[in-house]
Amino acid sequence: MALPEFDYIAAKSLEEASQLMVSMGSECVVMSGGTDVILQIPKNVAKGMKTVIDLKTIPGLTRLDFVDGEGLYVGANTKLFDIQSSPVVLDKMPAVAQAAHYVGSNQVRRKGTMVGSICNASPTGDCGAILLAMNAKVKIQSSEGTREVAMDDFWPGFKKIAADKKKGELVTEIFIPELKSGEGSAYFKHAVRKAMDLAIIGVAAWVKMDGKKVADCRIAVAGGDVTIVRGKKAEEMIIGRELTDELIEKVAEQASAEMNPRSSLRASAEYRYDMIRVYTKRAINKAVETMKA
């Protein structure tokens, strides 16, 4: 791809990147792996973007730590490939490794990051749904300090994120709470082909069981609305009830009914509705099957 002209700054520190963002505002974009950002450069340059600020060169942002009793910490420069192939992630939260694995291709995953993926805020992004279902939190840092935002509040609207570029806010880390005993999670992406494809829809489920009853549940759907969203009515329907195939079928229908997918070249809304139903069912079942003892 031939790129138009723009300035490129490899930031040395978060402070530097943050200050540059404050001074440039909408005339800059921030990247780490760049696998989403570079595709959008022609369009962004046409809209007045002049500078790409690269975070890749900032030390200390490649964290991938699982802390017992807490959960998984993923840094802003941590590659998707490292997440997908990490033995500890595969062991402790395989659905997260799977979600990372769904992105693009091997080449893309060796460049791209999970933080970048959620900051791209695509409604069909591959990593967002599992993070939302597992109640992950995002650390946002600027000269004014550090704050934590729940995934529930991270996407305020279509292609929007809770970090404010004009204030120099950067997403530096994702935290995913560990799965405790009786908890399980799963994510399925439905696409036409097995690699190098955008999702038609994706469904993630996190389930906490109390014996045969569902103590708690979070269902997140990609491709169901303008952002990745939760199926809250479906969650209400399942929580506190004894898990049966009939119930899962009804919950899946509810999750589908409360979505608002659009028709596009990729798939009709009608197909998306039904695939949300099918994969909600499959995600709940798999979350329960893979539950921590």
Binding residues (CB under 8 A) for another protein: these are 2, 4-5, 105, 190, 192-198, 265-268, 271, 274-275, 278
Structure tokens at 249: 């079928």
User: Strands 51-54, 7-10: parallel, antiparallel or unpaired by DSSP?
Assistant: parallel
Work out how close the CB of 115 gets to another protein at its nearest, in angstroms, rounded to a whole number. Answer: 23
**Least distance CB 166 / another protein (angstroms):** 30
Separation CA 183–CA 191 (nearest Å)? 27
Considering beta carbons, is residue 143 or 264 the nearer one to another protein? 264
Closest contact distance (angstroms) between CB of 192 and another protein is 5
Q: Which is nearer to another protein, 2 or 293 (CB)?
A: 2
Close Cβ partners of 249 (under 8 Å, ≥ 6 residues apart): 281
Yes or no: say if 100 and 64 are a contact pair by the CB < 8 Å rule: no
Minimum CB separation from another protein for residue 280, in Å?
12
Least distance from another protein to the Cβ atom of residue 226, Å:
20
Distance of alpha carbon 231 from its chain centroid, rounded?
16
**Looking at beta carbons only, is 225 or 274 nearer to another protein?**
274
Q: Which is nearer to another protein, 139 or 281 (CB)?
A: 281
**Residue number with CB closer to another protein (137 or 190):** 190
Q: Which is nearest to 138 in space by CA: 126, 152, 123, 125?
A: 152
Q: Which residue type, as a one-letter code, is found at position 63?
A: R
User: Closer to another protein at the Cβ: 151 or 201?
Assistant: 201
165/190 with CB nearer another protein: 190
**Minimum CB separation from another protein for residue 263, in Å?**
11
Which residue has tokens 């229908």? 253
